[in-house]
Structure formats: C-alpha cells, structure tokens
Amino acid sequence: MEKGIIEVLQTEMLDFTAPVLINNLPSIDGLLVSQRQVIWGMKKAGMTSDKQFYKMLKASGRIFDYYVLGDMPLCGVMKNMGNNYILHKYLMPKGSFGNKNFKKSKGSAPRYIECKLDAYSEYMLEGINKNAVTMKWNYDATEKEPILLPSKIPNILVNLRMSIAVAEANKMPSHNLEDVCTSLKSYIKTKDIDKSIELIKVPDLPSGGAIIYNKNDFEKIYKEGNGSFTIIGKYKYDKSTNTITIYEIPYTTYLENIEEELESKLDKFSKEIIDYHNGSDKDGLKFELYLKKGADVNAVIQKLRKFTSFESKFACNFTILDLDGKTPKCMSLEDIYVRWIKHRQTCIENELKFDKDRYEKKLHQLKGLEKILNGLDKAISIIQNSETEEDAKNNIIEIFSLDKEQAEYFLTIKLININKGFIGNKIKEISNLESFIKDIENTLSSEDNINNIIIEQLEEVKKKFSKPRLTDIIYNDKVEKISNDMLIEDFTCTLILSKEGYFKKTRRYSETQKLKEGDQIRTIIQCSNKDKAIFISNQGNAYLLNLWEVNEKQPSVIGDYLLNILPLERDETIIGMLSTNQYKGYCVYCFENGKILKTPLKSFETKTNRTKLSNSLTDENGLVLLITQIENDTDIELTDCFGKTKVINTKDINEKASRKSIGVTVFKSSKKDWKVVSAQVIKQ
C-alpha cells in the first residue's frame, strides 16, 4: 500500500523526533535526561557525598538501569558533570576528568578515575522521597525514575548547558548562584522583571574572563531568550620580564585555538612580539607572550582581541522544555522564573500533602489508642480469649468502635508497651499532630505562604553553595575601542597606477617599475600603508580601497588588474588615483575645455565603509587631462593644441564643495576646434 510523504513523515519521523527533543533539551530543573539519570542512579546506588569514592566504571554500571545509549557516551556525560565545564559540579571528581580550556583534554579512562555525588546534586534531590515530583518507569519497566528533580536550587540559570536536538538547540550561560537567588526573590516579591534583570547582572562563566556589559544586548537576551554578548580573556603584564601572560580565556574557545590564530597572524604582531610559549599545567592556564623592548602592551592586547579568539561572542538560546516535559519553547528570563516558581510550588505542595497524609494517618491511629486507654485490661482480655488473630482484631473493632486501621495499629504494639504510661505518652502527640496538620492546611490555603517557603529555601541555597564571581564585568565606557591605528602596520609605500589599469603597492621604491608591454605609468604616489586609495573612473565614480588590505608587490611585478579588485562597470576605466587618511588638502581636476575644479578631499570621506561613491565627477567639462591632489597651493601648466601655454596657481581657483561641480574657466580661446591637450603640476 502506497503512502504519501506527509503520512510517512507523521508516522515515522515524529516517533523519532519526540524522544530526541526530550533527551537533548533541558527541563526546568536545568538538567538533560542523561544528567538526571546519572544523579538518580548514583543516589539509588548509595554513592553519596558522605561515602567513599567509586570507580567511574562501577558507577556507570549502576546507571545503566536508566541509561541505554552506551558506556562511552555515559562516561562523557559523567566527566562533564565533574569538571570545569560547569560552575557547580554535580559529581565530586577524583582523577583527571578533562579540562574545558584545552581542546584535547578529554580526561583519563573511566577505569582510572573515581567519583561520587556532590552535595549540590543531593540538595537538588531533596523532597523526592516525599513524592515531590512525578516518577515514571525506566525503559524496561523494572525501575522508576523522576521526570524532573525537585531542585530547590534554580539550577536552570546557575549551571551552563549547550545541546542540540532535532531543529532545536539550547545554549544557556551560567550565572552566579547568589545573583540568581537574589533576582528570583525580588521577582517573587514584586513581579518586577526589570529589577530582576538588574539584580542577575550578567552571566558568570566557569572559565572566568570578563564580559563587556552592553545594556541593550542583555535586555534582548533576558527579554527575548536569545542574543549574544562579548567575552574577553584576562592577562597580566610583568614589566621586569616584559612579558604578557594570558591566564583566563573566553568559555567559547580553547587555548589551542588562540595559539593557532596567533601563529597564522604572526605578521600582524611583528612589531611587538619576539616569541610566545604555552606554559599551562595542572595549576592553570599560562600562555606567555615575550615582547620586544619598547613594545606597546595595549596595542598587543587590541590585536589579540581583533585577530584571535582572545575576544569572542557567546550566542544565547534559551530554548527549554516546558513544564509538560515535551514542548520546546524559547523562553525569556521572566518565562523561566514563572515556570521554575510554578515547579517549586507544585513540589512544596506535594511535600506538604505527603506530610499531611502521614500526620493524619498517625493522628487517626492515636485516636484509636485514646479510645482503648481506659480499657486496657479489657483489650488484653479480648486478645487472650480470641481464637485467632483475625478474631482478636474483629473483637477489638466491635468493642471499642475502632476501624480496621486503628485496630491493626494497636495490635502491632509490643505486649510490654501495652500500659498506661506508654500509651498515655503516645496520646500526648495528638495535640502536636493536630497543630501540624492545621499549619499545613494554612500554608496550602495561600500561594503567598508557599512563596515564602521558596524564599526561605533560596536563602538557604545561598548560604550553602554561594561562590565569588569568576567572570568580571567591564562596562562599555571602560572598554577601549579597537582602532585601525593599533592594528595596522605603518610603513611608507609607493602606489603605481598604469594607463591600462594595472595597480600595485610596493614597499621598496624603484625608478624602474615593470609594466605590461606598451603600457605607461599614469600616477605614482608615496603614502602610508594606513591610507586609503581613491580611484576616479571615466564614468564619474570614485572607488575607495584600504591600502592595508592590499598585498605588497615587488617592483619587478606588473601588479593587479583593477577590474579584478574593484567592482567596475562595463567599459569603465580608471583615469586617476589619490591617497589620503586624514582627508586633508584638495583634489584638482584639469579638463580639455580649459576649466579646473578644486574640491576638498573631505568630500570623499564617508561615515559608512562604502567602497563606491557615485557622482564623483561631472561630464560637462569634457575629457579629464589631469587628476592630482595637493595640500599646499601649487602652479599648474596648461598647454593648448596650438602650443600656447598658461600657468595658474591653485590659490586663484575658487574651491567647490561638491565633487560634481563645474570647474572654473582659467584658459580659453575663440579659435575653432581649440582645446587644451596637456596639464601638469610644476614642481617647485
């Protein structure tokens, strides 16, 4: 029987997609399914923080009651639960569990390392024995496991997680536990999410570093559930040895990445760095840069930020499974708070109901004892004279007006304790039990009362697990902007433009420049590598090119064909070249109709990084004979077709603000077919 593609997708793919989503996205307790199974499996096996360490291989074997994806993936999960991948370890490690700062540091084999549950995980389990959360059967219906942990700790924001599911992903940074608890308390009391965002500050990452604080970025992250922020590493400078030591790096990179990037961009650091050395060991990161005498330390740091992942972005995606445990949703901070509070309210209500049921059962049993207290002799006589245990129970129920549960409780008391002293003391508990039950009922009757319990628990969490911040906060106004002046090597270069449109930048000036056969030099300019080149075309366009982005050529090389490096139109050719950095001085055009246009170089300056400026030259003046730039006024000699010449100083030419202005007439004649045939700057 044939099936349509939609039907196949629905019946086949959805069955695959659903468990993948559930297994690879965190729930409101901040755990993936595999992490929850590790914590629960080790708890059930008694591998708690107060016990000895257990070989990971042995511990993983006890977790296979719940985990079915193989031993190697499981041990990988367990290593990440006990190393510096997260702020608060779920497992207490012994041995090498790997190091997040190094790409190849995967830790030792499971047979060599040991672990047990950390107190942090045990605290997340508190209340589970009071039916705080729903349990489900494991994969073969032999054991039960929790769908969620009670998690008094707001772990969803405290510990970092990154995971990918089918068409969904999650990437949530960790936050300082004390900040999260303070922020949550504020939200429970005020429902003011803006105040809570202010109190949570910014993420606190296990690798340290420093976060550049941008209010708009973090408002987007916390109000929309996605966005990114910038992290930079930390360094110290030793003046006595003229050495920079990097000791913390962004969470999103590895030290090997920075080393490889530095090696590939070593030419950018040639003015400042002699050598570098990775001296990292078990005590931490230690990547040393040995500087040349007089090197600018700040310039080195700016270049590291620009050319390596010493500065990098952390892209956030707060996609979490909703409280139903199966619906992925990109959540804002407020969404997370609302759901975590609802989860905790449900857990506390379940725990209180568990206690209430236990107290009510005990109270009911003791009320039966109260009825028997004044007839103990009779009760003993009934037991003695009964034929069977069942007869004794039925007779006690009938004589003392008890129910089955009360009678069974009385009959389980040891004979030696069936006396007025023991039973009297038991009955005294009735008033306490009634008081406990009333208190629970009062608590359950008000959401505010339950919220107060959550606030008290958050305070307890802070006292038990708070740590100082690892990641510093740098405010925007304190961060030096990366400028091109710091990053670009400065040297004098020579620019050569040929008449056939070949261009080259050479560091070594030479009187003899190789050209294509039959070609001639149109323009030669000496300038700085930090300048921009401006090319003027016959169609009135100007093209801007950053010289530091142009490869150097030797004088013995023809150069690059401009059509290959500039977005020229069809039949468009370059007729002139300028260079500038500060846009000082003027551009001077000389035309065959005897006009000269003097316009400030400032007219070529753009606020955006555009490469093409249209309307840079009017076509009303006819053919362009000369394009040159001047900072100081100079003489220009014009020669007409009849051999007559005229010299004019540029100070006598009025400045025009627009690049497309009509020039000023400086040379004219009434003769037929007259025109200017050459123009040149007279060198002083």
pLDDT band of 16, cuts 50, 70, 90: low
Does 13 have pLDDT greater than 70? no
pLDDT band of 483, cuts 50, 70, 90: low
Residues counted in the chain: 684
Helix/strand/coil for 166? coil
Give the residue with greater pLDDT, 196 vs 603: 196
pLDDT band of 477, cuts 50, 70, 90: low
**Which residue range is the domain that position 272 belongs to?**
234-309
> For the segment 300-323, what is each residue's pLDDT rounded down to a tens digit?
999 999 999 999 999 999 999 999
- Same domain? 342 vs 437: yes
Does 86 have pLDDT greater than 70? yes
- Same domain? 343 vs 439: yes
pLDDT band of 163, cuts 50, 70, 90: confident
| N-to-C CA span, the chain | 95
Q: Is residue 284 domain-resident?
A: yes
Which of 27, 55, 65, 31 shows the shortest CA–CA distance to 142? Answer: 65
Prediction pTM value: 0.76
Does 171 have pLDDT greater than 80? yes
- Same domain? 46 vs 138: yes
CA 375 to each of CA 187, 387, 394, 418: distance values in angstroms, whole numbers, following the listed order: 58, 20, 16, 11
Give the residue with greater pLDDT, 116 vs 554: 116
The CATH number that applies at residue 35 is 3.90.199.10
From CA 6, how far away is CA 36, in angstroms rounded? 35
Q: Is residue 182 domain-resident?
A: no
Most confident of 77-91, 368-382, 478-492: 77-91
Which of 202, 171, 311 shows the shortest CA–CA distance to 249? Answer: 311
Q: Is residue 577 domain-resident?
A: no
- Same domain? 98 vs 42: yes
What is the pLDDT, as a whole number, of residue 618? 77
pLDDT band of 413, cuts 50, 70, 90: confident
Give the residue with greater pLDDT, 165 vs 287: 287
Give me the chain's average pLDDT, please: 90
- Same domain? 383 vs 423: yes
CA 307 to each of CA 253, 302, 609: distance values in angstroms, whole numbers, following the listed order: 14, 9, 20
Which of 333, 279, 336, 268 shows the shortest CA–CA distance to 304? Answer: 268
Does 623 have pLDDT greater than 70? yes
- Same domain? 68 vs 123: yes
**Is residue 458 a contact partner of residue 451, using CB atoms and an 8 Å limit?**
no
> For the segment 337-369, what is each residue's pLDDT rounded down to a tens digit?
999 999 999 999 999 999 999 999 999 999 988
Does 684 have pLDDT greater than 60? no
- Same domain? 566 vs 597: no
CA 419 to each of CA 377, 410, 426, 437, 542: distance values in angstroms, whole numbers, following the listed order: 9, 12, 11, 28, 109
State the total domains in the chain: 5
- Same domain? 627 vs 675: yes
Helix/strand/coil for 575? strand
DSSP one-letter code for 160? -
What is the pLDDT, as a whole number, of residue 466? 95
- Same domain? 116 vs 36: yes
> For the segment 33-70, what is each residue's pLDDT rounded down to a tens digit?
999 999 999 999 999 999 999 999 999 999 999 998 88
Q: Is residue 625 domain-resident?
A: yes
pLDDT band of 456, cuts 50, 70, 90: very high
Which of 265, 292, 309 marks a domain boundary?
309
Structure tokens belonging to residue 224: 């929309």
Does 509 have pLDDT greater than 80? no
From CA 361, how far away is CA 368, in angstroms rounded? 11
pLDDT band of 581, cuts 50, 70, 90: confident
The CATH number that applies at residue 633 is 2.120.10.90
Q: Is residue 276 domain-resident?
A: yes
**Is residue 179 a contact partner of residue 87, using CB atoms and an 8 Å limit?**
no
Contacts of residue 101, Cβ cutoff 8 Å, sequence gap at least 6 = 84, 207, 249, 254, 255, 280, 285
Range in 164-168, 253-257, 318-322 with the lowest mean pLDDT: 164-168
Q: Indicate the helix (H) or strand (E) that contains 13.
A: none
The CATH number that applies at residue 245 is 3.30.1360.40
634-656 mean pLDDT: 92
What is the pLDDT, as a whole number, of residue 389? 86
Q: Is residue 651 domain-resident?
A: yes
Long-range contacts (CB closer than 8 Å, 24 or more residues apart) made by 192-201: 193/222, 193/223, 193/333, 193/334, 193/337, 196/333, 196/334, 196/337, 197/222, 197/223, 197/333, 200/157, 200/175, 200/333, 201/175, 201/176, 201/473
- Same domain? 45 vs 124: yes
Q: Is residue 614 domain-resident?
A: yes
Does 380 have pLDDT greater than 90? no
Q: Is residue 66 domain-resident?
A: yes
Does 165 have pLDDT greater than 90? no
> For the segment 260-283, what is each residue's pLDDT rounded down to a tens digit?
999 998 888 888 899 999 999 888
Range in 83-87, 321-325, 604-608 with the lowest mean pLDDT: 604-608
Range in 338-352, 555-569, 606-620 with the lowest mean pLDDT: 606-620
- Same domain? 295 vs 349: no
**Placement of tokens 């000369």 in the chain:** 626
What is the pLDDT, as a whole number, of residue 25? 92
Query: How large is the C-alpha radius of gyration of the chain?
Result: 40
**Is residue 167 a contact partner of residue 16, using CB atoms and an 8 Å limit?**
no
What is the pLDDT, as a whole number, of residue 358? 94
449-464 mean pLDDT: 96
pLDDT band of 598, cuts 50, 70, 90: very high
- Same domain? 639 vs 543: no
370-380 mean pLDDT: 85
